[in-house]
Amino acid sequence: MTPRSSGQEEAGYSVAFPKRWWYPACRSSDLGSLKPHAITLMGTPVVLFRDRFGAAHALVDRCPHRNVPLSLGRVHADGTLQCGYHGWRFDGGGHCRAVPGLYEDDDADAAARCVATHATTEVDGFVWVWGEAAAEPSGRPFELPDLGPRTSQTVFACDLECTLTAALENSLDVPHTAFLHGGLLRGGQPSEVTAVRREVAGGRGVEVQYLGEPVGLGKWRAKPGGKVTLDHWDRFFLPSIAQIEYRAGTWLRIVNTILHLPLSPLRTRAWFVLRTHSPVPAAVVRPIVAVRGRRVLGQDAGMLARQTEQIGRFGGEQYASTDLDLMANPIWWLLRQAERAESGQPVVVEPNGTSRANGSGSDGVGAGLADGDVDFAGRVTPRTVTFRA
């Protein structure tokens, strides 16, 4: 197979950054009243802070005066963000409100002294930013599922040395769990599982439902072919959400929603928001989830970093996929298509399974499409696969 092409500066890696979407920027608790919080958003430095009313704001992290990071400064008592170099102060709209020492300044709000902003909103304990600067947002950020009363929540954060695409695939890739995480998540006696892939969210996501998985964790699993099975779904939602849901009857529901922030082409921040609804007290569930979750995460982070490094050594990605790789190509396809659509270049699928942007020739996006992951209308194709896991 040919490597997937990249529309971004990291040639050879599958990088697609659709901008007109909400991205998680930080947890609400990361933003205090004094210290600004620095992130990078798809390669651009951005600083977040709270004004004196507690509202979160996001500014491009570059002082218009002499280019230093505004995140080196602090939040002033009046709720503006004050640069650490000469003390210029900026409000949440990016307007310069004061230049210390300057007499009779009628021009503090001059356009050249303004900083570009990203729209923000807070939902479910996270601050979200709109991916495009100086733009009106639309829609709402992804909502975490409400599992009702007796729900416990655990959140882990981890910076991964990999593309957003690779992080999303890793979160939703079942075959590696029995191997890399053998004994922790899966492992033990394999049983026959049927996976059904379908489009969700009006074509803005894809889901794989797994049927026939025995109840259990790691090596402790019910006998294959038994009556009690887990209901299991893996889902991807544009632009950066992965979600894994397990249900056992009405007594257990676990939803792990992974919110990804693409820091840069090859660095991705992930928050794992694990919500569990069960009759078992939260005090018992939390430590089990925390210990296993961290070990699993450590294994994934290590493997993703090595994958990124190796792709770099070989000068680009190259993939061989089988029927078990149900998620990777649809994820890449949806991301790439969303990015293209913003530049007015819808991707066209060719009869031979390759694709091209309008009139620009093949761009290699079709690398994974020849085996029917996407139909000629550009929709993710439904598929059913039976395998052993």
Residue with smaller CB distance to Fe ion, 184 or 211: 184
Q: Which of 38, 62, 32, 63 is nearest to 50 (CA)?
A: 32
Q: C-beta of 195: minimal distance to Fe ion in Å?
A: 17
Largest CA distance in the chain: 81
Question: Applying CB under 6 A, which of residues 19, 65, 198, 356 lies at the interface with ligand FES?
Answer: 65
Cα–Cα distances (Å) from 283 to 152, 287, 318, 321, in that order, read: 9, 7, 45, 42
- Give the contacts of 101 (CB within 8 A, at least 6 positions apart): none
Q: Where are the beta strands (DSSP E) in 161-240?
A: 192-200, 205-214, 216-217, 220-221, 229-237
- Cα separation of 285 and 278, whole Å? 9
Question: Applying CB under 6 A, which of residues 58, 63, 208, 357 lies at the interface with ligand FES?
Answer: 63
Of 79-138, binders to ligand FES (CB under 6 A) are 83, 85-88
Using the contact rule CB under 5 A, the part of the chain among 71-79, 203-211, 243-251, 294-302 near Fe ion is 294-302
Of 327-356, binders to ligand FES (CB under 6 A) are none
Residue with smaller CB distance to Fe ion, 1 or 155: 155
Q: Which of 257, 282, 281 is nearest to 271 (CA)?
A: 257
CA dihedral 66, 68, 70, 71 (to 10 degrees): -170
Q: Per CB under 6 A, does 68 bind ligand FES?
A: yes
The site map against ligand FES for 194-213 (x = CB under 6 A) is: --------------------
Say which residue the tokens 């990777």 belong to: 328
- Cα separation of 348 and 361, whole Å? 10
Q: Where are the alpha helices (DSSP H) in 190-230?
A: none
- Give the contacts of 300 (CB within 8 A, at least 6 positions apart): 160, 170, 180
Using the contact rule CB under 6 A, the part of the chain among 17-25, 62-70, 270-278, 369-377 near ligand FES is 62-70
Q: Per CB under 6 A, does 74 bind ligand FES?
A: no
- Cα separation of 229 and 206, whole Å? 23
Residue with smaller CB distance to Fe ion, 179 or 220: 179
Q: C-beta of 135: minimal distance to ligand FES in Å?
A: 25
Using the contact rule CB under 5 A, the part of the chain among 6-14, 75-83, 128-136, 300-308 near Fe ion is 300-308
How many CB atoms within 10 Å of residue 319? 15
- Cα separation of 231 and 215, whole Å? 9
Between strands 192-200 and 383-388, the pairing is antiparallel
Residue with smaller CB distance to ligand FES, 86 or 95: 86
Using the contact rule CB under 6 A, the part of the chain among 30-38, 52-60, 61-69, 254-262 near ligand FES is 61-69
Q: C-beta of 181: minimal distance to Fe ion in Å?
A: 6
Q: C-beta of 81: minimal distance to ligand FES in Å?
A: 10
Q: C-beta of 74: minimal distance to ligand FES in Å?
A: 12
Residue with smaller CB distance to Fe ion, 39 or 195: 195
DSSP state of 2: P
- Cβ burial, residue 274 (10 Å; 0-12/13-18/19+): buried
Q: C-beta of 39: minimal distance to ligand FES in Å?
A: 19
Residue with smaller CB distance to ligand FES, 20 or 65: 65
Question: Applying CB under 6 A, which of residues 9, 32, 66, 370 lies at the interface with ligand FES?
Answer: 66
Q: C-beta of 159: minimal distance to Fe ion in Å?
A: 16
Q: C-beta of 100: minimal distance to ligand FES in Å?
A: 8
Question: Applying CB under 5 A, which of residues 124, 300, 317, 363 lies at the interface with Fe ion?
Answer: 300
Q: C-beta of 265: minimal distance to ligand FES in Å?
A: 28
Evaluate whether 26 touches 341 at the Cβ level (below 8 Å): no
Q: Per CB under 5 A, does 169 bind Fe ion?
A: no
- Cα separation of 243 and 256, whole Å? 6
Residue with smaller CB distance to ligand FES, 115 or 367: 115
Interacting residues toward Fe ion by CB under 5 A? 300
Interacting residues toward ligand FES by CB under 6 A? 63, 65-66, 68, 83, 85-88
